[in-house]
Amino acid sequence: MRFATKALRVGQELDPQYRAVIPPLYQSATFGWEDLDHIPKFDYTRCGNPNRNTLEEVIAALENGKHCVAFASGMAAIVASFSLLQAGDHMLIASDIYGGTFRIGEKFLPRQGIQVGEFDAHHPETITAAVQPNTKLLIFETPTNPNLRVSDISAVVKVAKQHGLIVIFDNTFASPVLQNPLDLGVDIVVHSTTKYISGHSDVIGGAVITNNDEYYTTVYEWNKAVGAAPSPFDCWLSLRGVKTISCRMDVHCKNAQAVAEFLESHPRVSKVHYPGLPNHPDHAVAKRQMKAFGGMLAYEVDGTVAQARKACESTQVLLLAESLGGVESLIAYPPLMSHATMTEEQRVAKGIPPTLLRLSIGIEDAQDLIEDLDNSLKIAFA
């Protein structure tokens, strides 16, 4: 099956009892045993549930993976991938990374005796300089949050494997529609399924996908022990959402391209971060590596911080809110949202100035989004 068909059909046969087209919701904490000689496939929902099982089958198929473990959030999935570490290990986190991942590496992993270093995924040779004898894994993402840089996944994997590292990749921003990192040699893919996979801003979830049996077992057992499992209804909602991911991403990408081109020509905008623009520094690698350029972009207001904040607060169609990947367009201010855990000095060093605004472009009419952004800038500079 091809991608769009997988999203609709994998693991989703007609209900055998009533031939329902949509899988039933198994809203049950526990399941009965026939006898003690036969352990049932599902016995307790923290460990497994039919709705969760189906969601895991679908996500694994979309990422061309063998195994998937679903989680209650994207951050739970990221932390679960770090369960491959133990006290005394060292890991590398890309310098351009989601604020939540940065927070875990800076504040919590060191408490567990895990050392954390940094590398630049746009320059894979920096891995060699950062590796220590006890380095076990690295994590990176592309396109990055929030400044939409694109690194060469295969090049990062090549250097990492020269040092025997496990490679973890956050594919949330692109979604499995636009790239499949396992095909490029990545060991583990993580998702916040809250975003494009579910697509409707009505559920929180995460997923870990891998082809490695050992990694899968460790991550599954961690989830089982910690209890970071999603509810049956959350899985059912994600299954409902993922059915339309292929057509949704098509509109997200087309709208984002139109918005980026408009902002690029706007006199009140100093810089637009979108890999679909020919002048983006990573346009060539994005064109080669991705099927399209995505629904996320950022832009820098050519003015004061107060004017940037005013522009962010003045949209009417785009909603001022955290998160991304839903059908509705969102505008966000990273210093107070996705990257609030960093100091201003850290943000600026990572290319996140206080005048940068992040957009998650939805599936509204593109012209309405353009007019809304234009009006917000007029208000900000009035």
Structure tokens at 212: 């490695």
Say how many C-beta atoms besides its own lie within 10 A of residue 167's C-beta: 22
Active site residues: 46, 98, 170, 195
Say which amino acid occupies 245. Answer: I
Say how many C-beta atoms besides its own lie within 10 A of residue 106's C-beta: 14
Give me the residues paired with residue 188 across strands.
168, 210
Say how many C-beta atoms besides its own lie within 10 A of residue 207's C-beta: 31
SS3 category, 272? strand
Sign of the dihedral defined by the CA atoms of residues 338, 259, 154, 284, in that order = negative
Taking each continuous run of H as one helix and of E as one strand, the counts in the chain are: 14, 12
Q: Which residues contact 367 (CB under 8 A, 6 or more apart)?
A: none
